[in-house]
Structure 1
Amino acid sequence: MSDSGLKIFVFALSILSLAWLCCGFNPVDNYLIDCGSISDTTVGDRVFLADNSTSNTLSTPKNIFAKSSTSVTSSDDSLLYQTARILDGTSKYSFSIQQPGRHWIRLYFYPFVHDSYNMSKANFDVSTQDHVLMSNFSVNSNVVKEFSVNVTSSSLEITFTPSSNSFAFLNAFEVVSVPDTLITDGASTFNPLGKFQGMLSQALETIFRVNMGGPTILPENDTLGRTWVPDQSFLINKNSATNISRISAVKYVDGGATPNIAPNTVYGTATMMNSADNPSSNFNVTWQFNVDPGFQYLVRFHFCDIVSKGLNDLYFDVYIDSWIVSNDLDPSVLLFNTLAGALYLDFVTALTVNNKLLVSIGPSSLPNVSPNAILNGLEIMKMNNSLGSLSRSASLLSDSSSKKNVGMIVGLTFGAVIAVVLAAIIFMLCRKRKKLARQGYSKTWIPLSISGGHSHTVGSKYSNGTTVSVDSNLGYRIPFVAVQEATNNFDESWVIGIGGFGKVYKGALNDGTKVAVKRGNPRSQQGLAEFQTEIEMLSQFRHRHLVSLIGYCDEKNEMILIYEYMENGTLKGHLYGSGRPSLSWKERLEICIGAARGLHYLHTGYAKAVIHRDVKSANILLDENLMAKVADFGLSKTGPEIDQTHVSTAVKGSFGYLDPEYFRRQQLTEKSDVYSFGVVLFEVLCARPVIDPTLPREMVNLAEWAMKWQKKGQLEQIIDPTLVGKVRPDSLRKFGETAEKCLADFGVDRPSMGDVLWNLEYALQLQEVVVPGDPEENSTNMIGELSPQINNFSHVDISVSTAQFGASSVDDLSGASMSKVFSQLVKSEGR
């Protein structure tokens, strides 16, 4: 071949390659349906077929087409929102699948009023053969829900199940094949470290798809018909970031991303750390996203170094929440030293425990590296839970109507007899309840279930009819009418707090007893299990440093817990954010000592330890005398058996307080509470949040930041400004050493709560009492090593406790007096 012929061949090959990239992926299965429409609808370069198309089959009780009376212009897909199909009863779409594998299911919703159907009132579930996609779904504005499922059979069924006395609707949908390479088993995990296994079978819901530093990308500009949104609304501090665009520089190379992973308009723009060439810049760029707690998430980062002018010029760190997921990342190195190569990295989070997910980038700590960091794109996808559900409130839907029919026959057969019996029972209960409501509550509460084994069913709004049996010694039920009366019918002006379980109201029983009433939120992830655990745990405990459970109510589909009222609220509220007066150092020490006593009792007061699992300043409450009481036992769990070292369980707790060893290994011990309490100690000392993404990078995580100063011996540099000059150095040193020991990386290296309690008592003594000639006055290692001189403090400790709490209260309700506690702590055989 001549030189000119070779050039023509190479040119033609280049044109063909470019054309292949432009045409994108050609899906084998490609169902696009405009529901309720009698004609095809063109959106961009895609054609949505009329609803009567033979490409799918629909089984539905009624054929109801709806057309909007007004022009809908709320989105670029507005044509799809002009019509809808009403599904007034359980309905099923069936699709023939030519190529099994991963498929996208996109559902379009826009509620408008049609005849007697107001679509904003619709409430329904959506499921496939294997997964619940949505449960109790309703919508007030246009939305597209995108799911990714792995279809392993020759058909896909999508079932719409309206809630009782409601209906379902749908404006349009897509069922489309996606490339097998789009979702692989290559995601990394940091709990535990390694690779996530089983991603191919996961159902995913796209929660966010973000184009960092760039504009909105519409489906017609994406090879897989995706929409990417700008990142500005998710940035916590917009001044920390700047944008950059170099779309022409993007390269797709072997081993990296492809145009199907993300278009070059994603990789060619980026949000960059706004360091302004300042070599001392040291902060993170952070985005915040709202998520559903109780799920794991696949987080996909898109990187392309369009910033550097040469190789090995850009190194940075990547975080999810407070966990570093990539250290000293250089995107070019990962692509065999290709500058501006498109790259993506997948990470799977641990089970989320709150409704915020933070993603951050920040400068590397490597020497001689300019501070900079970039992110080009981000995708966050919810993963189905162990029930195969992507919905917080879903239980798997039964696909067998025969069971319902059998139940109906049995119900009709025995209905008359049951009705008579129930009527008699209800009549007697109503009379008794009215009588109880008039008489008061001190001796009239009804047990949740009698010991004969009968059970009580908590309403379906919380548990989908789950039945829970609790022995009669597990607390008492307060009538709902009494709870209403105590809270002035749940007066919003009486709300004193809002947590994961629901709102907390101040109230008063008819005998004048002040109470705190925690009313479960039906949308809360903390539902039946936490409600039952709280009753089971607190009904067993009687200790002056644990909040007392007065009763509960589970009538009318409610889950309500009634506690003793704590006049001074949470410890957290006294430290920052609420405007309350600052606590003195002595008050803080006494509060920490009280909380430590409560946790020590949990760990040692029974045959098996009880592990709180959510120790934090918000769960330490203060009465009118600022005496501390540990609260919120919804996540508590009994400890390991005698012949075991730990309990294997899913990770639960609050970020910033969570034991990293428990997080990594999912192995729970009492030392997990000790770690969390160590974080609380630093929180008490510094009076700032445990996680604050608005601060410079090295200060975001309180525990890490405080430990650096503690190890330098300069803890006084970061204490609450209101304490400056008011803390004796020895007391501060002892307090810091105690917190440091609590935060040891490995549980075996942490002290017991008994040791922590002893050292906090000693820190209080060092603040209040000067002991001449004490050889341990300047000790740097009290935990686990008690000198003979320390034994002489036992009489001082008891007298101080007696003075503080009164002689009659020296003995805890657990039966362990301070003298006994200290004798066990001091004697080697008692430790």
Structure 2
Amino acid sequence: MADSTSSFLSSDNSISLTYQKPPQNFPTLYHTARVFSSTGRYRFNLKKNGIHLVRFHFSPFKAQSFDLKSAKFSVFANGVSVLSNFQPPNDVLLKEFILKIESNLLEILFKPVGDSGFAFVNALEVFTAPVDFVIDFGARLVGPSGVEEYRNLSSKVLETVHRINVGGLKITPFNDTLWRTWIPDEDYLVFKDAAKPAVSTHTPNYQKGGATREIAPENVYMTAQQMNRENSSLASRFNITWNFPVSPSSGPHLVRLHFCDIVSPALNVLYFDVYINGYIAYKDLDLSALTIHTLASPVYVDFVTNSDDSGFVQVSVGPSDLSSSIRMNAILNGAEIMKMVNDGSTNIVHWRKNLWVLVGSIVGGIFVLFLVVTAFLLGAKCRKKKPKQKTVESVGWTPLSMFGGSSLSRSSEPGSHGLLGLKIPFAEIQSATNNFDRNLIIGSGGFGMVYKGVFRDNVKVAVKRGMPGSRQGLPEFQTEITVLSKIRHRHLVSLVGFCEENSEMILVYEYVEKGPLKKHLYGSSRQPPLSWKQRLEICIGAARGLHYLHTGFAQGIIHRDIKSTNILLDENYVAKVADFGLSRSGPCINETHVSTNVKGSFGYLDPEYYRRQQLTDKSDVYSFGVVLFEVLCGRPAVDPQLAREQVNLAEWALEWMNNGMVEHIVDPHLVGQIEQSSLKKFCETAEKCLAEYGVDRPAMGDVLWNLEYALQLQESGQQREPHANSSASATTTVIAENSSANRRIERDNGYCSLDASTSQVFSQLMNNEGR
């Protein structure tokens, strides 16, 4: 709700600002801000005491006489300083704090720093957490002196630094009971080859006394990283290690680790050790003993550790001395790193300290002295000298070196010219992009920025530059070159060359004038609306490109990241599939799938592939089905701003189809343009692509045929049923027309003949017994 219409805001020296020209698709939450020229406050009357999550949203922009980037202020929550001399970054920032409230009142103060300073906030969230979200006992204090119990944890104000879904994909707030975001762990793994993802298709067995869905959602406990015992380059005993960045020497941190045994065939076979910052934190951890002897039951363990000057909190799991050689394994499902804001110097529950003072004054100094002496004597009698705990290196951990430079230049060279013929000097790319002028940026992604460039012969190119000096995208860089160096097709973006000098990773492609399909379908900078015929032709072109990938080679190529941003349009609106960084070779002839880590984009990801980690070309078919509905409806695959039942496009569109009302979700720009028979055929094709199981989905050749048929129905206006229900003669006629048209198109664009697999598809359709 707006704070100006609520009773929460209590400040006479504040104004509301509005972002006049926000970027395309910029979240509505950050279109406004509340600015305080002097101390301002919000007061929340809470229904009950206990643990609460408080979130602050910051996104600086310029409006009126304020540049929010120049703000400097402190923030207090019930008297505890949670942000001190805070200056916002240039981008969106979310700050989350977890604190215990015992007065039914939460007061948030914004205090500008300096006479000319001001404070601001874009949004505030306050959530009530379960009573057992943070408990006072059971946490393990880990350090050089060993492991001790850490008490009174709930009295600390915790700031969330990292929230990680280990072995799984990103989890958005809409899939979490407390509206949290969990990010994948891949970027934090010290040595990726030591870990192997594990995925369960079964709902976790939540048990009383263990973790709840509020502690972590089901998706966290249904994925994990385990020891990659199949990697022969590793020692017989090794650890999986993650480094989580924190501010150096920033005090104590709570490390909450989530476990759920989804890898063991039976109870009491999995034993492993946990290490925090090189010190053993939990030896011989037996998840069966922690879960009331129930397999795949979620639990979590809290650890407290001090950050050192390394700038990391390091977490490792490895085999225990109790592990058998056959069952040797270690797992981790999730991790949360939280900084203690009030590290012992401030305590929210002031009454506890006051209570001890009162007791001391009543009982008297003599009795207190008696207690101290007695405690000292008992402690001296019972105290045993604790051996210094071994670090990870001394308990069997084998440090493993990271990858060095790229081996690309030493790789085998496909084709007669090889990869060396594709190498472009860095100086030439620098000149083509005017030294990577920011005004020439035409896109960005996980790999890096994309620039428009012009070579000396006036050839326009798109230059994708990886983050300079970083080798994080090396596998994608190598994959893209390997795939694109051996394929050429009208509906696939061509690779012009690459550069690998001075720790640079640069890919150079043909320039595709009109950019991603996505920007022609929706968004604030939307181009003139595409007609239904244009959309059908674009889908047909993309399907041809995918069909060539799947069938043009012995094993085929699976794209693995089909989405509307990876389908580009040239000046004539011809579709070209792009971005092959996640591509994989398909299964061999005697195989049904490729077992691999789950990769892809949220909203387009094949659910069967996600559950089973078994990749087939039908995973691309599913993603393409989402694109088809995106084209029809003119909306994103995932839109968090919509109602919960509308967030996921595929689920929402299928629901309307099942109700026989698909015409109600068609892009308003298409109303009155679509022939009913064409719409029916198109929707049936999209629906089949989105079948739950890959075996029930059509091959891309069939998808292509159906889309061409939908285009023919649109152009002719014929109200014919699909070929499966038509007479043999009618079917033969349609197929002959499509076959000749395809051959003519392919020949006109420089191809020798129609793909053999495509011909087989048409032959099969003409045969009455083909299906």
**TM-score category, normalised to shorter length:** 0.5 to 0.7
- Does 1:502 find its partner at 2:443? no
What is the match of residue 467 of structure 1?
Answer: 407
Letter in 1 for 2:661: Q
Displacement of 1:287? 4.0
Residue 177 of structure 2 contacts residue 214 of structure 2 at CA under 8 Å; is this kept in 1? no
Q: Give the TM-score normalised by structure 1.
A: 0.49
Displacement of 1:654? 0.5
Q: 1:574 aligns with which of 503, 517, 520?
A: 520
Could you give the per-residue CA deviations for residues 747-783 of structure 1, whole angstroms, max 9, x where no partner exists?
1111101111111111111111134xx7xx244xx67
- Does 1:541 find its partner at 2:487? yes
Q: 1:735 aligns with which of 682, 699, 709?
A: 682
Tell me how far apart the structure 1 counterparts of residues 184 and 87 of structure 2 sit (CA, whole Å). 19
Residues 543, 466 of structure 1: alpha-carbon distance in 2 compared, 3 angstrom cutoff: closer
- Does 1:621 find its partner at 2:512? no
Unaligned runs of 5+ residues in structure 1 are 1-71, 77-109, 112-138, 143-206, 219-231, 268-281, 298-322, 353-376, 392-396, 401-459
Tell me how far apart the structure 2 counterparts of residues 785 and 754 of structure 1 sit (CA, whole Å). 20
Residue 611 of structure 1 contacts residue 637 of structure 1 at CA under 8 Å; is this kept in 2? yes
- Does 1:789 find its partner at 2:730? yes
Residue 507 of structure 1 contacts residue 516 of structure 1 at CA under 8 Å; is this kept in 2? yes
Displacement of 1:562? 0.6
Tell me how far apart the structure 2 counterparts of residues 645 and 471 of structure 1 sit (CA, whole Å). 27
What is the match of residue 439 of structure 2?
Answer: 493
Could you give the per-residue CA deviations for residues 672-691 of structure 1, whole angstroms, max 9, x where no partner exists?
11111111111111111111
Displacement of 1:293? 6.2
Displacement of 1:725? 1.3
Residues 482, 265 of structure 1: alpha-carbon distance in 2 compared, 3 angstrom cutoff: closer
Q: Which has the higher mean CA deviation after the structures are superposed, 559-568 or 286-295?
A: 286-295
Once the two structures are superposed, the pairs formed by residues 203-218 of structure 1 within 5 Å of their partners are 210=98
- Does 1:294 find its partner at 2:186? yes
Residue 751 of structure 1 contacts residue 784 of structure 1 at CA under 8 Å; is this kept in 2? no
What is the match of residue 556 of structure 1?
Answer: 502
Tell me how far apart the structure 2 counterparts of residues 786 and 532 of structure 1 sit (CA, whole Å). 50
Letter in 1 for 2:596: T
SS at match of 2:446: coil
What is the match of residue 632 of structure 1?
Answer: 579
SS at match of 2:452: strand
Residue 252 of structure 1 contacts residue 342 of structure 1 at CA under 8 Å; is this kept in 2? no
What is the match of residue 749 of structure 2?
Answer: 809
Could you give the per-residue CA deviations for residues 689-740 of structure 1, whole angstroms, max 9, x where no partner exists?
1111110010000000001011122111101110111111111111111111
Q: Give the TM-score normalised by structure 2.
A: 0.52
Letter in 1 for 2:732: N
Tell me how far apart the structure 1 counterparts of residues 712 and 425 of structure 2 sit (CA, whole Å). 48
What is the match of residue 709 of structure 1?
Answer: 656
What is the match of residue 822 of structure 1?
Answer: 762
Residues 764, 527 of structure 1: alpha-carbon distance in 2 compared, 3 angstrom cutoff: same
What is the match of residue 762 of structure 1?
Answer: 709
Displacement of 1:633? 0.7
Q: 1:658 aligns with which of 605, 613, 620?
A: 605
SS at match of 2:449: strand
Displacement of 1:797? 2.3
Compute the RMSD of aligned alpha carbons: 5.4
SS at match of 2:540: helix
Letter in 2 for 1:769: S
Tell me how far apart the structure 1 counterparts of residues 478 and 180 of structure 2 sit (CA, whole Å). 33
Tell me how far apart the structure 2 counterparts of residues 622 and 593 of structure 1 sit (CA, whole Å). 13
What is the match of residue 263 of structure 1?
Answer: 154
- Does 1:682 find its partner at 2:624? no
Residues 343, 604 of structure 1: alpha-carbon distance in 2 compared, 3 angstrom cutoff: closer
Letter in 2 for 1:509: F
Tell me how far apart the structure 2 counterparts of residues 759 and 629 of structure 1 sit (CA, whole Å). 19
Q: Which has the higher mean CA deviation after the structures are superposed, 462-471 or 632-641?
A: 462-471
SS at match of 2:515: coil
Residue 501 of structure 1 contacts residue 525 of structure 1 at CA under 8 Å; is this kept in 2? no
Residues 630, 814 of structure 1: alpha-carbon distance in 2 compared, 3 angstrom cutoff: farther
Letter in 1 for 2:694: G
What is the match of residue 317 of structure 1?
Answer: none
Residues 244, 726 of structure 1: alpha-carbon distance in 2 compared, 3 angstrom cutoff: same
Q: 1:584 aligns with which of 521, 531, 536?
A: 531
SS at match of 1:561: strand
SS at match of 1:536: helix
Letter in 2 for 1:615: I
- Does 1:644 find its partner at 2:585? no
Displacement of 1:826? 3.8
Displacement of 1:485? 1.2
Tell me how far apart the structure 2 counterparts of residues 343 and 285 of structure 1 sit (CA, whole Å). 6
Residues 245, 617 of structure 1: alpha-carbon distance in 2 compared, 3 angstrom cutoff: closer
Residue 498 of structure 2 contacts residue 507 of structure 2 at CA under 8 Å; is this kept in 1? yes
What is the match of residue 82 of structure 1?
Answer: none
What is the match of residue 308 of structure 1?
Answer: none
Unaligned runs of 5+ residues in structure 2 are 1-71, 77-83, 90-94, 109-119, 139-148, 159-173, 190-199, 226-299, 304-312, 319-329, 337-390, 395-400
Letter in 2 for 1:483: I
Residues 343, 727 of structure 1: alpha-carbon distance in 2 compared, 3 angstrom cutoff: closer
Residues 696, 551 of structure 1: alpha-carbon distance in 2 compared, 3 angstrom cutoff: same
Q: 1:747 aligns with which of 681, 691, 694?
A: 694
Displacement of 1:603? 0.8
Q: 2:616 aligns with which of 633, 657, 669?
A: 669
What is the match of residue 180 of structure 1?
Answer: none
Could you give the per-residue CA deviations for residues 144-178 of structure 1, whole angstroms, max 9, x where no partner exists?
xxxxxxxxxxxxxxxxxxxxxxxxxxxxxxxxxxx
Tell me how far apart the structure 1 counterparts of residues 612 and 566 of structure 2 sit (CA, whole Å). 25
Residue 463 of structure 1 contacts residue 528 of structure 1 at CA under 8 Å; is this kept in 2? no
SS at match of 1:757: helix
Once the two structures are superposed, the pairs formed by residues 417-436 of structure 1 within 5 Å of their partners are none
Q: 2:465 aligns with which of 516, 519, 522?
A: 519
Once the two structures are superposed, the pairs formed by residues 167-246 of structure 1 within 5 Å of their partners are 210=98
SS at match of 1:792: helix
Residues 646, 251 of structure 1: alpha-carbon distance in 2 compared, 3 angstrom cutoff: closer
Could you give the per-residue CA deviations for residues 429-478 of structure 1, whole angstroms, max 9, x where no partner exists?
xxxxxxxxxxxxxxxxxxxxxxxxxxxxxxx9x95435343223343100
Residue 701 of structure 2 contacts residue 758 of structure 2 at CA under 8 Å; is this kept in 1? no
Q: 1:720 aligns with which of 647, 657, 667?
A: 667
Tell me how far apart the structure 2 counterparts of residues 719 and 576 of structure 1 sit (CA, whole Å). 13
Residue 592 of structure 1 contacts residue 760 of structure 1 at CA under 8 Å; is this kept in 2? yes
Letter in 2 for 1:732: L
